[in-house]
Amino acid sequence: MNATINLENKHFPVLLNELISIISPLYGGTFIDCTFGQGGYSKKILENKENNIIAIDRDKDVLMSASKFEKKYRRRFKFYNIKFSQLKKIKIKNNDLKGIIFDLGYSFNQIKNSKKGLSFNDKGKLNMRMGINDFSANDFISNMDENNLSRVFKIFGDERYSKKIAREIVRIREFKTIKTEDLVQIIDSVKKYQNTKIHNSTKIFQALRILVNKEISELINGLINSFHLIPVGGVIAVVTFHSIEDKIVKFFFKHYSEERNSSRYMPNEETSEKCFKIINKKPILPNPKEINQNPPSRSAKLRYGIKINYKCNFNDLREKFKYLTDVEELK
């Protein structure tokens, strides 16, 4: 019997070899996998029996995979169903934490789970909640006013037709509940003459996903919490998949790895010392072989920094991206 591998139905941890090459010199301690998903990074790190993993994920659907890891690796693996902003709940014994890893992409299982509604190929009620959420995409599409919808689409999706799409949503929802397929149809009707390589709905769905899950504030809080958790000499590594995420992560590592004068936001502060040592100034990208095997990896960028200071003031980071976190608070 012939056996074929359907690569489209398989999850690949992105930039795995590159990540391992960064953290392997630190082997013999604990690593935090902040986006456990299907456990690709955790499994590879646990191959070394001197390593321990603390994994977190806001998605309850990964609990079954996490349970399997707990049975297989026992005391070397622990899972928390929490968000990045709740990282402070983690207690590290003996301060043996060596690295903290973020993969900000979505797994194959999450994208294909129609109940989550992350894909524009889904049908039914809009959702996009990844767990521990206050609102769904349906709540925003059904209730947010036209100006705020347009602002969300423009800021989080860089959608050129944000105003027209928002206007059409408000018109249509007057006489029906807008489901996933309806939203796709609305977007297509506005962008019917566009000839682009990406799906018409990509930017709108990205914007809604960011809004629903408060991905910007969660990322910023996750990065700050990671700095406070990890000891000097430890590594923080982040894989991003779109430009907004990458801008934040780039600023986090670059800005805090340079000698800085007192903050323009806090002018009376003393000169700030460096917080990170940066080895690679440019992001690490997937090689052609990985992109060929796993096409979604083509947009991935890996950045990392080594902590070199116990203290760091992150007011600049919060103020730099306040315009984004303010949009997350729109109702």
Neighbour-count burial for 162-199, b at 16+ CB within 10 Å, e otherwise: bbbbbbbbbebeeeeebbbebbbebbeebbeeeeeeeb
Is the pLDDT at 20 greater than 90, yes or no? Answer: yes
Residue 31 lies in a domain: yes
Residue 152 in tokens = 């969300």
The rounded distance, in Å, linking the Cα atoms of 331 and 323 is: 15
Residue pair 65/33 in contact by the 8 Å Cβ criterion: no
pLDDT given at position 198: 81
Give yes or no: residues 105 and 123 share one domain.
no
How many residues are present in the chain? 331
pLDDT over 50 (residue 5):
no
Residue 2 has pLDDT above 60, yes or no: no
Please write the tens of the pLDDT for every residue from 24-52: 999 999 999 999 998 999 999 999 999 99
Decide if 251 contacts 320 (C-beta within 8 A).
yes
pTM of the full predicted structure?
0.90
Q: Clarify whether residues 128 and 223 are in a common domain.
A: no
Name the band, by pLDDT with cuts 50, 70 and 90, for residue 9. Answer: very low
49 DSSP 8-state letter: T
Q: What pLDDT, on the 0 to 100 scale, is given for residue 272?
A: 67
The boundaries of the domain holding residue 191 are 117-213
Which residue, 188, 213, 238, sits at the end of a domain? 213
Of 183, 213, 243, the one marking the end of a domain is 213
pLDDT at 3: 33
From CA 209, how far away is CA 231, in angstroms rounded? 33
As to burial, measured by CB atoms within 10 angstroms (0-12 exposed, 13-18 middle, 19+ buried), residue 311 is exposed
- At 150, which CATH number? 1.10.150.170
Element (H, E) at 54: strand 52-56
CA proximity to 325, closest of 249, 317, 263: 317
Q: What is the CATH number of the domain that holds 223?
A: 3.40.50.150
Of residues 72, 23, 75, 16, the one with CA closest to residue 287: 16
Query: 54 with 93, same domain?
Result: yes
Please check whether residues 188 and 104 belong to one and the same domain: no
Last residue of a domain, one of 163, 183, 213: 213
Do residue 151 and residue 66 come from a single domain?
no
Q: Three-state DSSP class for 310?
A: coil
Structural domains in the chain (count): 2
- Based on the domain organization, do 320 and 219 belong to the same domain? yes
Rounded alpha-carbon distances, angstroms, from residue 16 to 35, 239, 249, 259: 14, 10, 19, 32
* 39 and 100, same domain (yes or no): yes
Q: Which two tokens stand for residue 166?
A: 């928002």
pLDDT tens by residue, 112-148:
555 655 566 778 899 989 899 999 999 999 999 999 9
Tell me: do 209 and 184 sit in the same domain: yes
Query: What is the pLDDT at residue 218?
Result: 97
> Would 199 be classed as within a structural domain?
yes
Over the stretch 54-102, which tens digit does the pLDDT of each residue have? 999 999 989 999 999 999 999 999 999 999 999 999 988 767 999 999 9
Residues 227 and 311 occupy one common structural domain: yes
Residue 260: pLDDT band by 50, 70, 90 thresholds? low
Between 226 and 2, the higher pLDDT residue:
226
**203: pLDDT confidence band, cut at 50, 70 and 90?**
very high
pLDDT at residue 296 in the model: 83
Structural domain contains residue 233: yes
Question: What pLDDT digit, counting tens, does each position of 271-299 carry?
Answer: 568 999 999 999 999 999 999 998 888 99
Q: Do 182 and 228 reside in the same domain of the chain?
A: no
- Considering the domain architecture, whether residues 174 and 105 belong to the same structural domain is answered as no
Residue 1 inside a domain? The answer is: no
- How much is the pLDDT for 123? 85
pLDDT digits (tens, 9 = 90+) for 148-197: 999 999 999 999 999 999 999 999 999 999 999 999 999 999 988 766 77
Please report the pLDDT score of residue 4 as a whole number. Answer: 29
Q: How far is CA 40 from the centre of its chain?
A: 16
Residue 204 and residue 224 share a domain: no
